[in-house]
Amino acid sequence: MAHPVRASDTPFAVAVEQGKDYWWCACGLSKTQPFCDGSHNAAREFTPVKYTASESKTVHFCGCKGTARQPLCDGSHKQAG
Ligand code: FES
């Protein structure tokens, strides 16, 4: 199984809007991190993960792509190398 590309060493803080859908990049190849730009088509094994904002607030999307709480940061970037 392929591993995702580590897009960032820290999470991405994003102000999301209630009721809006966001597509988190799981492969790490997107040029518009933390969101999908279609680059995963080349990676094949990865597809974006949908996040629907339940309220308007700032959330931290995973940047290292190693989170177990996709698409949100779980602190894995502090351990992954
Ligand atoms: Fe990474 Fe779409 S570009 S999942």
Q: Express each pLDDT in 46-56 by its tens digit.
A: 999 999 999 99
Instruction: Determine the pLDDT at residue 59.
Output: 98
Check if 45 has its Cβ closer than 6 Å to any atom of ligand 1: no
Instruction: Determine the pLDDT at residue 57.
Output: 98
Establish if 42 belongs to a structural domain. yes
Establish if 6 belongs to a structural domain. no
Q: Which residues of the chain have pLDDT under 70?
A: 1, 43, 80-81
Instruction: Determine the pLDDT at residue 1.
Output: 63
Establish if 5 belongs to a structural domain. no
Establish if 52 belongs to a structural domain. yes
What's this model's pTM, rounded to 2 decimal places? 0.92
Out of 8, 22, 24, 27, give the residue to mutate to test ligand 1, the one with the largest number of ligand atoms within 8 Å of its CB. 27
C-alpha distance from residue 28 to each of 4, 13, 57, 66, 72 (Å): 6, 16, 24, 10, 14
Range of the domain at 63: 12-78
Establish if 4 belongs to a structural domain. no
Ligand 1 atom closest to the CA of 4, numbered from 1: 1
Establish if 3 belongs to a structural domain. no
- Please name the residues in contact with 5: beta carbons below 8 A apart, sequence gap of 6 or more: 27, 28, 29, 65
Establish if 55 belongs to a structural domain. yes
Give the DSSP H or E segment for 42. helix 40-43
Instruction: Determine the pLDDT at residue 27.
Output: 96
Establish if 69 belongs to a structural domain. yes
Q: Tell me how many domains the chain contains.
A: 1
